A and B are shown apart, each in its own frame.
Chain A
Amino acid sequence: MKYIGENLLPGQLGHFFILLSLVSAGLSTISYFFAAQQPESNESKDWKKLGRISFIIQALSVTAIFSLLFFIIQNHLFEYHYAWKHSSRSLEFKYLLACFWEGQEGSFLLWNLCQAILGLVLIRKAGSWESPVMTTVSFAQFALSTMVMGLYIAGWKMGSNPFILLRDSGVLDNAPALHVNFDISQPLLPDYLSSIKDGNDLNPLLQNYWMVIHPPVLFMGFASTLIPFAYAIAGLWTKKHDHWTTPALPWSLFSTAVLGVGIMMGGMWAYESLSFGGYWAWDPVENASLVPWMTGVAGLHTLLICRATSHSLRATYLFFILTFLFILYSTFLTRSGILGETSVHAFTDLGMNWQLLAFLLIFAIPSLFFFFRSFNKIPTVPQEEEINSREFWMFIGALVIFLSALVIIGQTSLPVFNKIFGTTIAPPADVEFSYNSIQLYVALILAVLTAVSHYLKYKSTSRTFFWKKMLIPALISAIAGALFLIFGEVNYQKKGVVFHYSITLTILFSFYTIITNASYIWVGIKGNINKAGGSIAHVGFGMVLTGILLSSANKEIISTNVNGIPAPLGEGENPQENLTLVQGLPVTMGNYTLTYLKDSAHPKKPLWFYKIQFKNQKEKEDFILTPNAFVNYKGNQGLMANPDARHYWDHDVFTYITSLPDPENQKDTATFKSYLQQQGDTLFYSNGFMIFDSIQTRDNLPKELFGEEGKLFEVPIRVKSKTGTSYLVTGRAAFVKGQWISLSDTLVSEGLILQLQEANPKGTVRLGIKESDALLKYVTLKAYRYPFVKVLWYGVWLTAIGLLLSMINRIRKNRTANMIS
């Protein structure tokens, strides 16, 4: 059967390149393996050459797959299931990339592409380490390529193919209108494609610019953890235990920077586009990417110790191996659907759980086996670390961050334990606090260690040296801390006094971290910017801690109210956070007066923008926030709200819609009641009364439109509500060709429709009154004030800049060392 209008070429090419990428990755793995097994032999060179060529072919294939799939999405080729499912014609160009990685297949491809790029860099730069390292990298490419295969082997589904056609995906099987004779057992109509006008579109929550940039950075971070892992495996394999640490260090720095930024970009997306009111919720998906970052940071620090003192090599091996394994574990958690109830934004289950598990185990079992078998052969230093040495405290810091990562992943894995042991344990009542109550103390310890470690020397530090250098930064910190205690405050009472003071203490120590590390650039390394990477990164880390603590602890709910009435909270009253704003009615709460001004609609989508005016009495300023919401968007019944925020240097004001009038209840059931009124009579309605004083008449109307007796009447009506507010409404009616035509006027805030039904110039009118809730235009929203969120964002960037500076410095050093040797 031939179908009209299908463009099958990109798909066929896609299938071909998927196969090619799998085969070439496999070939590359085998070739590099043999090249690494006999490094001295003559064949080694040929194997290595073959490995290189096949890896380059693999990289080109992935690029081709990537381009073809993007071509399909960009040209709206809805004959392909992926384009139909994830994009639409109304989607802006900038979001087409976001469509690409909305699905599992696209995000696997992105990961594959990132690893391919890093692999190409390794081929150029890795030198004598190329073969053993690239064996692991190629094998990872092979394993990732199976994820987009889309084969069924004896009933097991292997991979999910992004080039599958819509008509083969099963989506159309139950659509009689698209089949011959309206019978679904018959084949599809040859011109079925002409009925498929548009795709399902990108989830509106992902229609945000962060979703264009966050996934590539995050997946580059995921991919980058493979390289220190591959070096560690290569070290175990070649038994050159101390050599691999030199080339692995810049990669470890790169990985920490990129993965960290990728994770926090996800936080920025959540902050700007999700409506849980924050940047971090300890959601399993977030934790699953944070944990490998933390173990990677632990590995980075033990690696530095190892470079300087030869201590901690075993720990370095373990940390880098676990970092990559945790990436695979996080892939399993977020893509298998096992998180189910506990996560709000995991991928949907594609039925490839066994494959995801195999992906994890095929790396976990051999690498851990290798590690523990070689454990006793990994060189150690018999001499103990001095308690006044840098390496001692750095190691403790690495250990604390590593154990804290284990605790987080343990808590996150609750659904996995339930699955394995058949239990039904649910997360605790206050999930966030179950993490915060532990991690606050981890932050406290890390802040102290980060603050002092650079002032200690490797091997041993004399007391006079330490205090001479530390004196001024410690004094500045003490002053800053005192100023904070006097002028600043921590408003977090709900978890008790101990927690409150712990937060305060941690904030003071995070100041200390910032100040000592910033001072170290001058005190320690005399302003040498090449060496300043570590200090800059630690200043950034201190700012991240400060930003997190200040913004979370001092988050202020602007929309607090009691039983819907905005009121100052009394003792023991439970603050409730949703506030309803009726259009045009200002509501004052705390320092802010909020008014719902008006709304407007997106020209193409069911997306509404609500203009909310914020007036701050104290700071004498007003501004408008425009949170928006998708309403009943393409199968997503209900509301999908996007917040809006106004950013200041020291705080953000943040609001989002939580509820809108239900259109079902909006049906206008009330009817007009008619009243005959004399001039000056008072007419009551449920919420007040109204009077009319005069009737204005207009004659001389065009006869062809109004007929012989045509007249226009205007009656100004004064409405006075119980609350004391007065309104002036003008009723209008026309007498046209012997018939009355009435125009209604509405008084939104009173829920009132007035209709002048008849008018007699002698002084009587017939007034129609309708009272209806449906008239009330309102929004229900939450509004927050977040102090010092910017400190967090700048801290993230500064940490990344510091890490990359270090990376450049280390690459330069390695190069010089190579030249000398």
Chain B
Amino acid sequence: MKKIHLVLLVLIAISIGVLISFTNTTSTYDTIGTAMSKPGKYVHLMAKLDKSAPLEYDAIKNPNYLRFTAVDSLGLSVAVIYNNAKPENLEMSERLVLKGRYKDGAFQCEEIQTKCPSKYKEEEAKGLKHPGNQPVPRTAP
């Protein structure tokens, strides 16, 4: 056997080992129920914002504290705490991917991915009445 073949085999073995160890670090997509059943474990929680529940965020008091309630399609809900700035399109999103852990009665979220309705589809349904055709009111300071 050539030396180079030996090296080849060793490197391929390492690569396979690396990929297998990668699969051990992967997490799972969960509903609120299954996430609550494994507290402390990192999951991807698929849910949406409960607009009827209060949302707590005051950038002046603490720009790194957001608390809201998430509900999933099975009807369960959970309080979510996110120590970061509020994603600006949170209220607009139709779906949220919340990455974090269920701990101490709340979902400690590390990352929020917002899934917004496609801007075109939405506006198409309304028939061209997209904000682009209207003067945009000055809403920011």
Chain A residues within 8 Å of B, Cβ to Cβ: 85, 88, 170-172, 174-178, 195-201, 341, 344, 348, 384-385, 387, 392, 395-396, 399-400, 403-404, 406-407, 410-411, 414, 424-429, 434, 438, 561, 563-564, 574, 576-580, 582, 599, 601, 606, 608, 629, 631-639, 658-661, 663, 666, 773, 776-778, 780, 782
- When A198-B133, A582-B60, A659-B85 are in contact, do A403 and B128 touch as well, CB less than 8 Å? no
Contacts of B110 in A (CB 8 A): 429
Question: In the complex the two chains form, is B63's CB within 8 Å of A780's CB?
Answer: yes
Question: How far does the alpha carbon of A335 sit from the alpha carbon of B136 in the complex, in Å?
Answer: 32
Contact among B7, B133, B139 with A632 in the assembled complex (CB-CB below 8 Å): B139
Question: How far does the alpha carbon of A332 sit from the alpha carbon of B67 in the complex, in Å?
Answer: 38
- B105 at interface (Cβ–Cβ under 8 A)? no
Q: Which residue of A lies closest to B14 (CB)?
A: A403
- The distance from the CB of A483 to the nearest CB of chain B, in whole angstroms, is 34
Question: In the complex the two chains form, is B26's CB within 8 Å of A426's CB?
Answer: yes
Question: How far does the alpha carbon of A772 sit from the alpha carbon of B80 in the complex, in Å?
Answer: 29
Contacts of A411 in B (CB 8 A): 19, 22
Question: In the complex the two chains form, is A425's CB within 8 Å of B28's CB?
Answer: yes
Contacts of B122 in A (CB 8 A): 635
How big is chain B's contact interface, by range?
35 or more
Question: In the complex the two chains form, is A635's CB within 8 Å of B131's CB?
Answer: yes
Question: How far does the alpha carbon of A639 sit from the alpha carbon of B113 in the complex, in Å?
Answer: 15
- The distance from the CB of A582 to the nearest CB of chain B, in whole angstroms, is 7
Question: How far does the alpha carbon of A382 sit from the alpha carbon of B85 in the complex, in Å?
Answer: 63
- When A199-B132, A580-B59 are in contact, do A636 and B124 touch as well, CB less than 8 Å? no
Q: Which residue of B lies closest to A406 (CB)?
A: B15
Question: How far does the alpha carbon of A629 sit from the alpha carbon of B89 in the complex, in Å?
Answer: 13
Q: List 22 A-B contacts (CB under 8 A).
A: A172-B128, A175-B128, A404-B15, A407-B19, A425-B27, A427-B26, A429-B27, A434-B22, A434-B25, A563-B62, A563-B65, A576-B63, A578-B59, A579-B63, A599-B141, A631-B140, A634-B136, A636-B89, A637-B116, A659-B59, A660-B141, A777-B141
Q: Which residue of A lies closest to B7 (CB)?
A: A396
Interface string of B114-126 (1 = CB under 8 A from A): 0010111011111
Question: How far does the alpha carbon of A578 sit from the alpha carbon of B18 in the complex, in Å?
Answer: 35
Question: How far does the alpha carbon of A395 sit from the alpha carbon of B92 in the complex, in Å?
Answer: 53
- The distance from the CB of B41 to the nearest CB of chain A, in whole angstroms, is 10
Question: In the complex the two chains form, is B123's CB within 8 Å of A635's CB?
Answer: yes
- The distance from the CB of B100 to the nearest CB of chain A, in whole angstroms, is 9
Question: In the complex the two chains form, is B63's CB within 8 Å of A658's CB?
Answer: yes
Question: In the complex the two chains form, is A608's CB within 8 Å of B140's CB?
Answer: yes
- B130 at interface (Cβ–Cβ under 8 A)? yes
- B48 at interface (Cβ–Cβ under 8 A)? no
- The distance from the CB of B136 to the nearest CB of chain A, in whole angstroms, is 5
Q: Which residue of B lies closest to A640 (CB)?
A: B88
- When A200-B130, A631-B140 are in contact, do A659 and B86 touch as well, CB less than 8 Å? yes
Contacts of A392 in B (CB 8 A): 3-4
Interface string of B10-54 (1 = CB under 8 A from A): 011011001100110111110000000000001110000000000
Question: In the complex the two chains form, is B11's CB within 8 Å of A403's CB?
Answer: yes
Contacts of A574 in B (CB 8 A): 83
- B78 at interface (Cβ–Cβ under 8 A)? no
Question: In the complex the two chains form, is B133's CB within 8 Å of A663's CB?
Answer: no
Contacts of A601 in B (CB 8 A): 138
Contacts of A196 in B (CB 8 A): 128
Question: How far does the alpha carbon of A582 sit from the alpha carbon of B65 in the complex, in Å?
Answer: 17
Contacts of B127 in A (CB 8 A): 172, 174-178
Question: In the complex the two chains form, is A170's CB within 8 Å of B132's CB?
Answer: no
Question: How far does the alpha carbon of A636 sit from the alpha carbon of B120 in the complex, in Å?
Answer: 10
Contact residues, B94-114 vs A (CB, 8 A) = 97, 99, 110, 113
Contacts of A661 in B (CB 8 A): 59, 140-141
- When A200-B130, A410-B19, A635-B130 are in contact, do A400 and B11 touch as well, CB less than 8 Å? yes
Question: In the complex the two chains form, is B63's CB within 8 Å of A395's CB?
Answer: no
- The distance from the CB of A190 to the nearest CB of chain B, in whole angstroms, is 17
Question: In the complex the two chains form, is A426's CB within 8 Å of B141's CB?
Answer: no
11 more contacts with CB within 8 A, not counting A384-B3, A659-B88, are A171-B124, A171-B128, A410-B19, A428-B27, A578-B63, A635-B120, A637-B89, A639-B89, A659-B63, A661-B140, A782-B85
Question: How far does the alpha carbon of A703 sit from the alpha carbon of B54 in the complex, in Å?
Answer: 56
Question: In the complex the two chains form, is A424's CB within 8 Å of B27's CB?
Answer: no
Chain B residues within 8 Å of A, Cβ to Cβ: 2-4, 7-8, 11-12, 14-15, 18-19, 22-23, 25-29, 42-44, 59-65, 83-92, 97, 99, 110, 113, 116, 118-120, 122-128, 130-133, 136, 138-141
Question: How far does the alpha carbon of A658 sit from the alpha carbon of B89 in the complex, in Å?
Answer: 11
Question: In the complex the two chains form, is A635's CB within 8 Å of B132's CB?
Answer: yes
Which 9 pairs, one residue from A and one from B, show the smallest C-beta to C-beta distance? A175-B127, A638-B88, A639-B88, A576-B64, A638-B89, A564-B62, A658-B85, A635-B119, A634-B132
Contacts of A400 in B (CB 8 A): 11
- The distance from the CB of B47 to the nearest CB of chain A, in whole angstroms, is 13
Contacts of A635 in B (CB 8 A): 119-120, 122-123, 130-132
Contact among B27, B65, B83, B125 with A427 in the assembled complex (CB-CB below 8 Å): B27
- When A580-B59, A638-B88 are in contact, do A201 and B132 touch as well, CB less than 8 Å? yes
- The distance from the CB of B74 to the nearest CB of chain A, in whole angstroms, is 15
Question: In the complex the two chains form, is B26's CB within 8 Å of A384's CB?
Answer: no
Contact among B7, B59, B125 with A174 in the assembled complex (CB-CB below 8 Å): B125
- When A392-B4, A563-B62, A578-B63 are in contact, do A195 and B128 touch as well, CB less than 8 Å? yes
Q: Which residue of B lies closest to A636 (CB)?
A: B119
Question: How far does the alpha carbon of A780 sit from the alpha carbon of B26 in the complex, in Å?
Answer: 33
Question: In the complex the two chains form, is B133's CB within 8 Å of A384's CB?
Answer: no
Contacts of A414 in B (CB 8 A): 26
Question: How far does the alpha carbon of A579 sit from the alpha carbon of B59 in the complex, in Å?
Answer: 8
Question: How far does the alpha carbon of A632 sit from the alpha carbon of B138 in the complex, in Å?
Answer: 9
Contacts of A175 in B (CB 8 A): 127-128
Contacts of B140 in A (CB 8 A): 599, 606, 608, 629, 631, 660-661, 663
Most chain A beta-carbon neighbours within 10 Å: one of B19, B59, B65, B116 = B59
Question: In the complex the two chains form, is B84's CB within 8 Å of A577's CB?
Answer: yes
Question: In the complex the two chains form, is B26's CB within 8 Å of A170's CB?
Answer: no
Question: In the complex the two chains form, is B26's CB within 8 Å of A197's CB?
Answer: no
Question: In the complex the two chains form, is B132's CB within 8 Å of A88's CB?
Answer: yes
Q: Which residue of A lies closest to B8 (CB)?
A: A399
Question: How far does the alpha carbon of A195 sit from the alpha carbon of B83 in the complex, in Å?
Answer: 46
Q: Which residue of B lies closest to A639 (CB)?
A: B88
Question: In the complex the two chains form, is A638's CB within 8 Å of B92's CB?
Answer: yes
Question: In the complex the two chains form, is B85's CB within 8 Å of A780's CB?
Answer: yes
Question: How far does the alpha carbon of A88 sit from the alpha carbon of B84 in the complex, in Å?
Answer: 34
Contacts of A170 in B (CB 8 A): 124
Question: How far does the alpha carbon of A492 sit from the alpha carbon of B20 in the complex, in Å?
Answer: 26
Question: In the complex the two chains form, is A385's CB within 8 Å of B141's CB?
Answer: no
Most chain B beta-carbon neighbours within 10 Å: one of A200, A429, A659 = A429
Question: How far does the alpha carbon of A88 sit from the alpha carbon of B133 in the complex, in Å?
Answer: 10
Contacts of B3 in A (CB 8 A): 384-385, 387, 392
- The distance from the CB of B88 to the nearest CB of chain A, in whole angstroms, is 3
Q: Which residue of B lies closest to A176 (CB)?
A: B127
Question: How far does the alpha carbon of A1 sit from the alpha carbon of B28 in the complex, in Å?
Answer: 55
- The distance from the CB of A609 to the nearest CB of chain B, in whole angstroms, is 11
Contacts of A637 in B (CB 8 A): 88-89, 91-92, 116
- When A174-B127, A399-B8, A424-B29 are in contact, do A578 and B60 touch as well, CB less than 8 Å? no
- When A403-B11, A635-B130 are in contact, do A780 and B59 touch as well, CB less than 8 Å? yes
Q: Which residue of B lies closest to A385 (CB)?
A: B4
Question: In the complex the two chains form, is A632's CB within 8 Å of B131's CB?
Answer: yes
- The distance from the CB of A431 to the nearest CB of chain B, in whole angstroms, is 9
- The distance from the CB of B45 to the nearest CB of chain A, in whole angstroms, is 10
Contacts of A427 in B (CB 8 A): 26-27, 44
Question: In the complex the two chains form, is A429's CB within 8 Å of B42's CB?
Answer: yes
Q: Which residue of B lies closest to A782 (CB)?
A: B85
Question: In the complex the two chains form, is A174's CB within 8 Å of B119's CB?
Answer: no
Q: Which residue of B lies closest to A663 (CB)?
A: B139
Question: How far does the alpha carbon of A666 sit from the alpha carbon of B137 in the complex, in Å?
Answer: 14
Contacts of A177 in B (CB 8 A): 127-128
Question: In the complex the two chains form, is B7's CB within 8 Å of A399's CB?
Answer: yes
Question: How far does the alpha carbon of A424 sit from the alpha carbon of B125 in the complex, in Å?
Answer: 32
